[in-house]
Amino acid sequence: MASLVKRLPAPYDFGWTFRTADDCEVVETHLGDGRYEIRLDHAPLKGVTTEMLTWWFQVFDGTATYRGQSLPAYHLWHPRDHVAVKLTRNEAGRVAPKERVHIQEVFGRDKRFSIDARSGIHRWDGRGVGLHLDVAGHRLLELDHVFKDSPNGAIYQSCMRAGGGVGPLRRIINTAVLPRRFGAAQRAAWIRHNFEEVGCFEHFLPELFETKAITPSSAS
């Protein structure tokens, strides 16, 4: 998978109001095996459907034309924090389980919370997407976004599990590495990024879905 060498771009200003913590229910749990679990149940996304979300997750690495402006579609998903993304696709040209995603983000535009992660995909369908990070046989992170339709707009839940669940190094990972790499400040930054990111769908996705104005990425 090709590398990303990007710098945090200037923030876009579309006049949107970002969601706040009041727009989702956050449950943080320190699991019995030492892992952290964070679940966010977002308020319904007005005007957004699962059909729109399913389409988005196949094309968001492309270039969008939005209100007369050409820009990486990924930057619409969070106009301040997102840097770059690359996706691999199967022989049918689809993003699907067993493919990979590489993302670069800077939560809150604070370099302490920079993310540069190559993750595997274990779910990518009309009900949600799921990513995981494995290192030396240990699954260090799982992130699942699940969604469904409702009369008030799409219901969207994000759930992250961080830490080693199995393996000989699980105890070291969960007691020494996890608190340092995913401490309270990092978790708070990710939570804020997540509810802001998900809330952005209301502002752009219905309009973009109608026009389908995304040029596919040529990267693989």
- Average pLDDT (158-187) is 74
DSSP-assigned letters across all residues of 20-65? -GGGEEEEEEE-TTS-EEEEEEEPPBTT--HHHHHHHHHHTTSEEE
pLDDT digits (tens, 9 = 90+) for 49-68: 999 999 999 999 999 999 99
Sequence ranges of the domains in the chain: 24-211
pLDDT above 60 (res 2): no
The pLDDT of residue 165: 61
pLDDT digits (tens, 9 = 90+) for 14-44: 999 999 999 999 998 887 777 788 999 999 9
The pLDDT of residue 7: 83
Which of 119-133, 149-163, 178-192 is predicted with the least confidence, judged by mean pLDDT?
A: 178-192
Strands 155-162 and 138-148: antiparallel
pLDDT digits (tens, 9 = 90+) for 87-105: 999 999 999 999 999 999 9
For residues 72 and 82, give the distance between their C-alpha atoms in angstroms, rounded to a whole number: 10
CATH code for residues 24-211: 3.30.530.20
Instruction: Give the tokens for residue 48.
Output: 């957004």
The pLDDT of residue 184: 81
Give percent above pLDDT 90 in the chain: 72
